[in-house]
Chain A
Amino acid sequence: MRTFIVLLQKELLQIRRNSFLPKLILVFPIMVMLVIPLFTTMDVRNVNVVVVDFDRSTASRRIVSHIEASEYLSLMGVTSEYGVAMKQLEQGKADVVVQVPNHFERDMAISDADKISITANAVNATKGSMGTQYIVQTIARTLQELQGERNPRQMSELVTVQNRFNPTLNYRHYMIPALMIILFILVCGFLPALSIVGEKESGTIEQINVTPVGRMTFTLSKLLPYWVIGLFVLTVAMIVAWLVYGLTPAGSIGLIYLGAALFILTISGFSLTIANFSETMQQTMFVMFFFIMIFMLMSGLLTPIDSMPDWAQKFTIILPPRYFVEILRSVYLKGTTFVELWTNYLALGIFAIIFNLLAAITYKKQA
């Protein structure tokens, strides 16, 4: 026990004496939470629209003015030549071309009349599809209005949409829990590994290896400080989310900390295992980057797991962050309770044990 205490003291002293680490631990989460949500948004804005108006009727003018009024769409121009519009699309000046056929207003009531056609540049798939969707919505609203004016009794709303748990469909609310997880992966994934490899590079680990320190004790002494740091980072991130974005957990704070505690242990154990197999900082960084890429892109952090191909969905079962992403998002945004998430906690717990045992076992005092 005394061995563990002196080792822990040593780790804490080293972290405190480091000119960079304490700043990193405090400033990094604040900066990430302050700045990144401002620009990581999937809301598509400024979709440039050109309208090819062959009809020149009240209806087509109404459509144009609604497009102009939309906060997501910006009208680039109205033309009567399809070629001009296509040229603008090719040159990237327009994202979407809306073509209103001749006699559109006159034939509106006839079922097989010429239809409005929408052409979108889908090189940026998100912008293309979201842009078309916005236009379809805008035009549908215009047409409904027109119909309502002509025949008030027929006026009916066809569809109503309600977004639960993130009522304004604010992408930030979706991103903030993801950013917290990215913070954990970076802070608690890299720092313990670098700390071990740093000792390998400076040779101090050999002085430890020639003493009777148990590898479990040594591994724990590397783990515990970063565990506390991780929970501190979570606290800072949650405070920023509350103060700046007004986002507070809908569910229990205890559940969030429990999930984070398990997740940090898992990711730190993983990082220590990588460190045991690396000789230099570069090696550790590259190997960690490789895994972090997979963690970030496949854990449902940025894109939903449900839309991945079947084999990829199966693969995510062995990715620890996947379980925590689900925990953090649903507790934070939906207020989900332990009863519904206990399998995720169990999975994290099992990963935490596996990776930390692995870290202790692969730590070789004698080669």
Chain B
Amino acid sequence: MNDIIISVRELTKCFGDFTAVNRISFDVRRGEIFGFLGANGAGKTTAMRMLCGLSYPTSGSGTVAGYDVMREGEQIKRHIGYMSQRFSLYNDLTVEENINLFAGIYGLSKAETEERTTELLERLNFSSERKTLVGSLPLGWKQKLSFAIATIHRPEVVFLDEPTGGVDPVTRRQFWEMIYEAAAGGTTIFVTTHYMDEAEYCSRVSIMVDGEVRALDTPARLKQQFVVESMDEVFRTLARGAQRGE
């Protein structure tokens, strides 16, 4: 089963008597772009945090890159990249210093770091911003930089939590080009989004409603199943039934 990189069975997370994630099960194949959709408060971020080893599941099981989410969180962290919903690079460090920090944390040598930094900055057209404080960059640039840093150690899977929230359409497009490039290089992408056009770009999509996965398939087959024209309509059909408010 080498081509399954994330496998989740009956994964559940409760906060007190509130069940944020309710017995979700799915598999993600190596190299695919897996869209993880759901309304606000549906439990996407909670589920993603469990997969990244940031949060312990209440029950159920799961493996990421072959490691158990319950017991081997620290092992998982060596093999994944994560980009949080909230921008979380150091605003008071420069572009280069942020890259050095995370490259160093993942154990890249100085020479490797230097090489990848140069290559990465060129790819992003950022070479002139090398010594700019991250806090002074526009949001779209910050997001691209976050993604680049989340993949600096060439992880097997990268988790992106609403990476394009608040980003302009042009930058959004560039961002998805970066995602495609990474996927083409063999990195599995696990991405949440609220943009349904982005959902169309995914290899497969799951839709969460009220802490449960209600649909999971390729965008084309989901549209067929719900007999609609767009992912937008698929999403709205499912989300309309949600009990949880925002």
Contact = CB atoms under 8 A, between A and B. Distances in A.
B56 A366 contact: yes
Interface in B72-106: 73-74, 77-78, 80, 82, 84, 86-93, 97, 100-106
A367 B97 contact: no
A204 B104 contact: no
Contacts of A210: 52-54, 77, 80, 82, 84
Interface in A193-210: 202-204, 206-210
A2 interface: yes
A15 to B, nearest CB: 10
A160 B86 CA distance: 73
Give the interface SS of chain B, mostly helix, strand, loop or mixed: loop
B55 interface: yes
B106 A211 contact: yes
A10 B53 contact: no
Contacts of A6: 100-101, 103-105
A3 B110 CA distance: 11
Interface string A81-107: 000000000000000000000000000
A17 B92 contact: yes
Contacts of A213: 105
Contact of A7 (B80, B105, B109): B105
A132 B15 CA distance: 66
A170 to B, nearest CB: 45
Nearest to B73: A366
Contact of A202 (B74, B77, B88): B88
A10 B89 CA distance: 12
Contact of B54 (A9, A10, A366): A366
Contacts of A334: none
| Residue among A2, A5, A207, A365 having the largest count of chain B Cβ atoms under 10 Å | A207
A243 interface: no
Given A3-B104, A7-B101, A366-B54, A211 B88 contact: no
Give chain A's interface residue range (CB within 8 Å of chain B). 20 to 34
Interface in A213-227: 213
Contact of B53 (A7, A202, A203, A366): A366
A10 B88 contact: no
B185 interface: no
A235 interface: no
Given A10-B93, A10-B97, A18-B92, A206 B54 contact: yes
| Residue among A2, A14, A18 having the largest count of chain B Cβ atoms under 10 Å | A2
Give the interface SS of chain A, mostly helix, strand, loop or mixed: helix
B166 to A, nearest CB: 15
Given A10-B93, A206-B54, A3 B88 contact: no
B107 A204 contact: no
B92 A207 contact: no
A18 B105 CA distance: 23
Contacts of A204: 88-90
B98 to A, nearest CB: 9
Contacts of A203: 84, 86-88
B95 to A, nearest CB: 13
A367 B56 contact: yes
B83 to A, nearest CB: 9
Nearest to A215: B74
Given A18-B92, A202-B88, A367-B54, A3 B105 contact: yes
B82 to A, nearest CB: 4
Interface string B147-184: 00000000000000000000000000000000000000
| Residue among B56, B74, B92, B102 having the largest count of chain A Cβ atoms under 10 Å | B92
A17 B89 CA distance: 15
Interface in A1-30: 2-3, 5-7, 9-10, 13-14, 17-18
Contacts of B80: 210
A244 to B, nearest CB: 35
Nearest to B103: A6
8 contacts: A2-B107, A2-B109, A5-B104, A7-B101, A10-B101, A13-B93, A207-B88, A212-B77
Interface of B: 52-56, 73-74, 77-78, 80, 82, 84, 86-93, 97, 100-107, 109, 133
Interface of A: 2-3, 5-7, 9-10, 13-14, 17-18, 202-204, 206-213, 365-367
Given A3-B107, A206-B84, A367-B56, 13 more contacts: A2-B107, A6-B100, A9-B97, A10-B93, A10-B97, A13-B92, A13-B93, A18-B92, A204-B90, A206-B88, A207-B82, A207-B88, A210-B52
